[in-house]
Amino acid sequence: MRRFDEPILVTRPYLPDLETFKAGCEEIWRNRWLTNNGPMLKRFEGRLADFLGTPESNISLFVNGTLALELGFYALGLSGAEVVTTPFTFVATSHALKRIGATPVFADVDPETLCLSPEAAEKAITPRTKAIVPVHVYGHPCDVEGFARLGEKYGVKIVYDAAHAFGAGLQAYGDMSMYSFHPTKLFHSCEGGLLVFRDESLREHLAELRNFAIKGELSCVDVGTNAKMNELQALMGLECLKAMPEILASRAELHAAYCAAFAGHSGVKFLDPARFTTSGVAGYSPNYAYCPVLLRDFETRERVCIGLREKCNVFARRYFYPLLTDFEPYAYAKGTCPVAEDAARRVLTLPTYFGLSTDDARAIAENVMEML
Ligand code: T4K
């Protein structure tokens, strides 16, 4: 069993070259402009649009992913509606719905990706349903074609929580997608959130909503909030964006190293991140933002998770356990999604980040196998 001298955390943020970052700070100092739609923010929006191949008129930046989701849901008119979504996610997905007065209706997940299943979602649709909110969980692409069919058949919006999926090439799908730029994501801007939307007429409303919905000095057109990204965040995002190819390559390498190290072990099940990826045609693929494995049962998962901490100094995490429906605000749906419930009790997300070596990944895998 290998004990690491320094703690190995589930993730570490990519950090750009400090001297280049300082040069960007000097520019901010010269501008003496720190937030409220500043020049760094505009440059960052431009570079993101280029990176995604999406017009700037169809994207909008926010201070974090949660407020981006909340304002996106609000701008799409989902207040008061039922929205079909997944319990296998971070609490922010459902919190953002609840906070605008929508009701999350939970449907089960696909066992191979742990993303919302279109078949299960369809069964949960009622006349009050206005949207479906799937999550590209761990950066695994959802069955985007299946959801597009549901959107058309029932006339409901498809809004992706793509918090984990930046760089996976999924921006052309759904009415809207939200990317989180939190430091625990493979790409970040210290904190941040990006909305990509199909209807460009939303851009102006979203820009108002993130700035209190004030218009000029003399009018206020809606109940907005303060969700503006500041200039230092935008600078961090600009610098990290330069490294996206290396960041993506390192995640894919680590995923391959873990797969090879565990190859054929009956006690460790890998998901199928590329299950809904029609490579070459649609141009999207998993970004391997996280490395989840399913262990045999709850007791094994707990033993391995605690053993890694205590014996090996490795801090794997149980994303996403407890399941949302175990939490008080969503307990009304407890017991309704058996696939998600089983996965939450068996999942362990292993460390993966730019700077972790494939040798370290192999050593972590060997430690796990010794504890099975
Ligand atoms: N939708 C989904 C599906 C999401 O997963 C999230 C966020 C959102 C929406 C909302 O997006 P944001 O509003 O966050 O943009 C983390 C993050 O806080 C959260 O952003 C993320 N999902 C969630 C899955 O994970 P914690 O409580 O696990 O974070 P924490 O502080 O324990 O950090 C995790 C590991 O990363 C630790 O081992 C320490 C390390 N770390 C963390 C930070 C912040 C660093 O090494 N450096 C750092 O700067 O929630």
Give the residue from 214, 217, 138, 219 showing the smallest Cα distance to 180.
138
DSSP 8-state secondary structure symbol assigned to residue 6: S
The per-residue pLDDT for 192 is 98
Tokens matching residue 102: 């929508």
Distances (CA, A) of 18 to 32, 51, 289: 21, 23, 24
- Which pLDDT value is given to residue 278? 64
Please name every residue paired with 105 in a beta bridge, in sequence order, or none if there are none. 84
Residue nearest to atom 24 of ligand 1 (CA): 90
- Please give the average per-residue pLDDT across 270-285, as a whole number: 78
Say how far residue 258 (Cα) sits from the centre of its chain. Answer: 21
pLDDT in tens, 75-127: 999 999 999 999 999 999 999 999 999 999 999 999 999 999 999 999 999 99
Q: Whose CA is nearest to atom 44 of ligand 1?
A: 183
- Tell me the average pLDDT of the chain: 97
Q: Evaluate if residue 279 carries a pLDDT over 80.
A: no
Give the DSSP H/E element, type plus range, for residue 269: strand 268-270
DSSP label at 218?
T
Q: Could you tell me which residues come within 8 angstroms of residue 85 by beta carbon, excluding any fewer than 6 positions away?
A: 93, 94, 97, 104, 105, 106, 107, 116, 132, 133, 134, 135
**pLDDT band at residue 282 using 50, 70 and 90 as cut-offs:** low
Distance (Å) from CA 350 to ligand 1 centroid: 14
The encoded tokens of residue 198 equal 């199909």
Give the pLDDT confidence score for residue 27 in this predicted structure.
Answer: 98
Q: Is the CB of 9 under 6 A from ligand 1?
A: yes
What is the DSSP secondary-structure string of 110-141? -TTT-SBPHHHHHHT--TTEEEEE-B-GGGPP
pLDDT band at 280 (very low <50, low <70, confident <90, very high): very low
Residue 179's pLDDT band (cuts 50, 70, 90): very high
Counting ligand 1 atoms within 8 A of each CB, the residue from 89, 90, 179 with the most, and so the one to mutate, is 90
CB distance 66 to ligand 1 below 6 Å: yes
Query: Rounded distance, CA 121 to CA 131, Å?
Result: 10
Each residue's pLDDT tens digit, 15-63: 999 999 999 999 999 999 999 999 999 999 999 999 999 999 999 999 9
pLDDT of residue 284: 87
Q: Residue 281: is its pLDDT beyond 60?
A: no
Q: What is the pLDDT at residue 114?
A: 98
Ligand 1 within 6 A of 75 CB?
Answer: no
How far apart are the C-alpha atoms of 134 and 121, rounded to whole Å? 9
